[in-house]
Amino acid sequence: MIDVDSFLICARQIFGDGFIPLHRPIFEGNERRYLTDCIDSNFVSSVGEKVNVFEEQVAQFVGAKYAVATMNGTAALHLALELAGVKAGEEVISQALTFVATCNAISYIKAKAVFLDVDIDTMGLSPIALENFLNTYADQRDEGTFNKLSGNRLAACVPMHTFGIPCRINEIKDICTKWGINLVEDAAESLGSYVGSAHTGTFGRIGTLSFNGNKVITTGGGGMIITNDSSIASQAKHLSTTAKTPHPYEFRHNEIGYNYRLPNLNAALGCAQMENLHKILEIKKEVSDRWRVFFSNQEAKFIEPLAGTQTNYWLNAVLLNSKSERDIFLRKTNEAGVMTRPAWELMHSLPMFKTCIKDSLKNSKWLHDRLVNVPSSVPNL
């Protein structure tokens, strides 16, 4: 049984007095200056220099050739799936242990999510579960890979790097390549996480990031498509800007597009946040080190990244002994003003995804019953 009193003392030592949120943003760089620049320039909407600068900063940081900014991470995923060629009625493989945005984006296309299990150590899509599913149900034809049972095309696979901890993306990539399935990486939680020397989100044809208020860095709301494919990048830019054909003054649109481009105001925040990203990641590592030491003396398992991978320490996670212990811990810590959180309800149990195809989800359920996220913000820069 975890000692709640010493947990609260440790939380206070790291984060100080008052309510301790799970994750708060930190604005101690050029945020105010860039916002003012933006207002002074009159370019507050989606046309403006800051958006381009922010895209270049992110592309450079993750080592991708192109980055296209969107108004949130869900919009980035929606566009990414559309650009990966996913059509209505087709199936997209993902994990049941994820934030609902992953599955919402799949649903916007009117595609169907297929929920497979996660690995117990990475909490990300299990390559074994993926291989088992494909070996059992997939049929590779000239027009693509189809689900033998439903008859639908298996159009894409969307693994997610849970809480910033990289999943077995190399193995997943090999399986997707073998079966001819598009790999779209939901790297919303893993800016600053690597597998070997490659940044998460750069393994598939398209990856997506989020800059929501609780992520490692924030633009208020924001997202990004990252890719090395110039045609995907230019289509992403076109579709996210109402599919307007370039012209100095005429207004003409050549397909149904979206108003998904990140506003300049939000990008201004992003430019300043990117300047501090290395520092933020360093301090998040220190916070994580403190929790690791604390939990090493407790009956709880602190979740660590696999050897050869690097996490961004977005949200620290521990596994308690049982669901009942988890529930007591959640209640006592939240009552004491130290925010802790269980994993998201598994996607297959939500009303709108109840009828989706799924496997046993054994590890997902086991993790869901025991997992708790503990406060992981940067205390002070």
Q: Which residues bind to ligand PLP, rule: CB under 6 A?
A: 72-74, 98-99, 101-102, 160, 186, 188-189, 210, 212, 223
Amino acid at 100: V
Token readout for 319 is 């596994």
Six-digit token string for 227: 């890719």
Whichever of 72 and 363 has its CB closer to ligand PLP, that residue is 72
Q: Which is nearer to ligand PLP, 10 or 188 (CB)?
A: 188
Alpha-carbon span 102 to 159, nearest angstrom? 9
What is the secondary structure of 334-380 as a DSSP string? HHTTB--EEPPPPGGGSGGGTTSEE---HHHHHHHHHEEEE------
Nearer of residues 94 and 235 to ligand PLP, judged by Cβ: 94
The least CB distance from residue 221 to ligand PLP, in Å, is 6
Instruction: Quote the least distance from Cβ 74 to ligand PLP, whole Å.
Output: 3
In sign, the C-alpha dihedral spanning 226, 228, 232, 236 is positive
Distance in Å, CB of 70 to ligand PLP, minimum = 9
Write down the least CB distance from residue 116 to ligand PLP, Å. 15
Q: Of 29 and 73, which has the nearer Cβ to ligand PLP?
A: 73
Residue 74 or 145: which CB sits closer to ligand PLP? 74
CB closer to ligand PLP, 153 vs 205: 205
Nearest approach, Cβ of residue 304 and ligand PLP (Å): 20
How many Cα atoms occupy the beta-carbon half-sphere of 7 within 13 Å? 25
Q: Which long-range contacts (CB under 8 A, 24 or more apart) does 139-148 make?
A: 140/179, 140/180, 144/180, 145/179, 145/180, 145/181, 147/91, 147/114, 147/357
* Cα 209 from Cα 190, distance rounded (Å): 8
Q: How far is the CB of 366 from ligand PLP (least distance, A)?
A: 20
CB 233 within 8 A of CB 52: no
Query: Of the two residues 69 and 378, which places its CB atom closer to ligand PLP in the complex?
Result: 69
CB 314, min distance to ligand PLP, A: 9
CB 86 within 8 A of CB 112: no
* Helical segments of 23-155, H only: 31-41, 49-62, 73-83, 100-108, 127-137
> What's the CA gap between 218 and 27, in Å, rounded?
9
For ligand PLP, the closer of residues 29 and 124 by Cβ is 124
Q: Is the dihedral of CA 346, 349, 350, 354 positive or negative?
A: positive
As measured in angstroms, the least distance from the Cβ of 110 to ligand PLP is: 19
User: Among all residues, whose Cβ is closest to ligand PLP?
Assistant: 73
CB of 269 to ligand PLP, least distance (A): 14
DSSP state of 43: -
Q: Please tell me whether residue 233 adopts helix, strand or coil conformation.
A: helix
Closer residue to ligand PLP (CB): 2 or 97: 97
